[in-house]
Amino acid sequence: MKLSKAMEKQDQGLMKQAGMTGRLDDHLYMYHMPYSYTAEQIRKLRTYLFHMPDKSVPRVIMITSALPGEGKSLIASNLAIAIAKGDDQYVLLVECDLRKPSLHNLFKYPPSKGVSEIIQGTARIEDCLIKTPIDKLTILPSAQEAPANPSELLESKKMSSLIKELSERYSDRFLIIDTSPIQATVDPKIIADQVEAIVMVARYRYTKESDFKMALEGLPKDKIVGTVLNALDELPARKYKYSKYNYHKYY
């Protein structure tokens, strides 16, 4: 997508103010292409979360997947942007994938102190928050350097206390928590106890049914509110010519 010179100049100004080091990743459709077919699917996911039958609107939402490479961080990031674009809705995007963080690549900020350092007592929450060019969206990174003991850190009482503190300190915000894949680590199972809702991500023609079912077994079923089928490139996606990365709900 080509931006006009005026938009490019505005983009650069916002990124400089927010500490960004380059143009945000093109797959952040809710930012670059908010009226695309793909962005519309993300808005549908947001609407579903806000209007679930017999359930209150969850404020602390975990996004995870069975395997690496299924696009959970992209879904988490686009969902965070979608919610932040709503009226009076603030979002804190929390990166809890301490082993292989990716949000800094999507939002183009340098590796920064975050969850790992806060848990270890070497940094404060307010000193780790990353402002983004998206109004009302803030990021709490995972770590400046990958810790040697990520599972132990996430399993500690300090992690539970951190999520509780974040939800209480920023009571006006939604917390979107991006975790590592379930089959690769035990980290998401640890964090699952601290959240109100869980959204699973599965990649079309990539995720095996056996892996997906095994991943579900390790999560509290009452908190799983839905699954996003990612990278679906068949109709109606082709009809709208957004076939490279498309996000569809699958409940």
pLDDT of residue 234: 47
Average pLDDT, the chain: 85
| Bridge partner list, 92 | 138, 175
Hey, is 203 helix, strand or coil?
A: strand
| pLDDT of amino acid 248 | 41
What's the mean pLDDT in 226-232? 88
Instruction: Provide the Cα torsion 245, 109, 100, 141; round to 10°.
Output: -110
Which of 247, 242, 200, 244 has its CA nearest to residue 224? Answer: 200
Task: Please report whether residue 24 resides in a domain.
Answer: no
Bridge partners (DSSP) listed for residue 174: 91
pLDDT score at 195 = 94
Question: Does 26 reside within a domain?
Answer: no
Asked whether residue 140 is assigned to any structural domain, the reply reads yes
- Which of 56-60, 99-103, 135-139, 146-150 shows the lowest per-residue confidence on average (mean pLDDT)? 146-150
How many domains does one find in the chain? 1
Dihedral of CA atoms 237, 242, 245, 251 in degrees, nearest 10, equals -30
Specify if 29 maps to a domain. Answer: no
| Domain at 106, CATH number | 3.40.50.300
Residue type, 13: G
Amino acid at 228: V
How would you class 216 by CB atoms within 10 Å of its CB: exposed for 0-12, middle for 13-18, buried for 19 or more? Answer: middle
**What is the structure's pLDDT at 233?**
64
Query: Is 233 a member of any domain?
Result: yes
> Would 13 be classed as within a structural domain?
no
Domain that holds residue 157: 34-250
Domain assignment present for 94: yes
Give the tens place of pLDDT for each residue, 133-154. Answer: 999 999 999 999 888 888 888 8
Instruction: Give 187-214 pLDDT, tens digit per residue.
Output: 788 889 889 999 999 998 888 899 999 9
- Enter the pTM of the model: 0.85
> Pairing relation of β-strands 137-140 and 224-230?
unpaired
What is the spatial distance between Cα 182 and Cα 115, in angstroms, rounded to a whole number?
A: 19
- The secondary structure of 64-105 as a DSSP string is EESSTTS-HHHHHHHHHHHHHTSTT-EEEEEE---SS--HHH
- Assigned domain for 9 exists: no
**If you average pLDDT over residues 63-86, what whole number do you get?**
95
